[in-house]
Structure 1
C-alpha cells in the first residue's frame, strides 16, 4: 500500500480542500472561517454539493508558501478527524491533483476525468 503523502512546502501557492458531510458541515464551516481569521488565506464557498474533481462536499482554503508552515500544522491539529486535501498550484491541474497532492487524514477519491 502506498504511503500517504504529507504536505510539503515546495510551491508558491496552495489549495486546501476541507471535506465534510451533512453531519460535519457546521464544524467544517467553522474550521474554514477560523483559518481565514488566523492566517493570510482566502476562504472559498462551503459547497454542499460536489464541485470539480472533489467527490465529497468541500470548502477551499487558498494560501501561499509564506503561511504554509503555520497553517498546515494548525489544520492538522484542528481538523477533528476531517480529511483535508492539500495541493500545490502550478498551473497544471492534473499534476496539482496527483503529483502535488497531499493529505491530512484519510485520502478520498478524486475524479480526474475533467482535468
Structure 2
C-alpha cells in the first residue's frame, strides 16, 4: 500500500523562468509584471546555467497560498517562455525530477547535481 504524502510538507514553491538572448526582454517584462501582481520573492538573473538548470533563468519564490493565483497567470502569460514550477520540500532531487510542473517545453535538467542534496 502506498502512503499518501501530506502537501503540508511544502514550505514554498519555486518557478524558474528560462530565457535566452532573444527572449530576455520578454523575460524582463514578465518579471516586472510578476513583481507588481503577486506576493513573491524574486531571485537574481542567472545569465548562465547554474545548478540543475540548463540555461539562463531567474527564480520566483512564492508561498503555497499564492500558487492558485500565480500559476494560472504564468500558464496564460508565459509568452513562449519555458517555466519549471516545483515544490520546496526537504528533497531537492524529487522536487525537481518527480514533482515538477512544466509550462512549455520540458527542458533536460542536470539532475545529477541534486542526487545527494537535501534542501532546507
Unpaired runs of 5+ residues, structure 2, are 1-6, 115-120
C-alpha separation in 1, matches of 2:71 and 2:26: 18
State TM-score, norm by structure 2. Answer: 0.84
Structure ID, larger Rg: 2
Secondary structure class of the residue paired with 1:45? coil
Between the two structures, name the one with larger relative contact order (CA 8 Å, sep ≥ 6): 1
Aligned residues: 106
State TM-score, norm by structure 1. Answer: 0.87
C-alpha separation in 2, matches of 1:100 and 1:88: 7
RMSD: 1.0
Whether 1:31 and 2:26 are equivalent positions in the alignment is no
Aligned to 2:56: 57
- In proportion to residue count, which structure has more strand? 1
